[in-house]
Amino acid sequence: MSHNEKSPHQSPVHDTRESQPGLDSLAPSDGSHRPTPEPTPPGAQPTAPGSLKAPETANDKLTALDAFRKGSENYALTTNQG
């Protein structure tokens, strides 16, 4: 097997930053991609549908899936059923 010069697993950057840990160098330097450390009011940040900060974001597709969900308060996070 010969050495493949074109490795499919290349770094996304090709300078001295590629030896640095993590991909923070690719993110905005102002940190705007990170969530705020303090609590925010409803609607201030994007949230998942139906979360406590955005309870009115339900739609027909999510409503149709409600019959397949089980209430998690009476169930363990994991089971021993494999």
Cut 0.75: pTM above it: no
Which residue, chain included where needed, has tokens 């905005």?
Answer: 28
Indicate the SS3 state at residue 26: helix
At residue 79, the pLDDT reads: 67
Structure confidence at residue 52 as a pLDDT band (50, 70, 90): low
The answer to whether the CB of 26 falls within 8 A of the CB of 18 is no
At residue 21, the pLDDT reads: 61
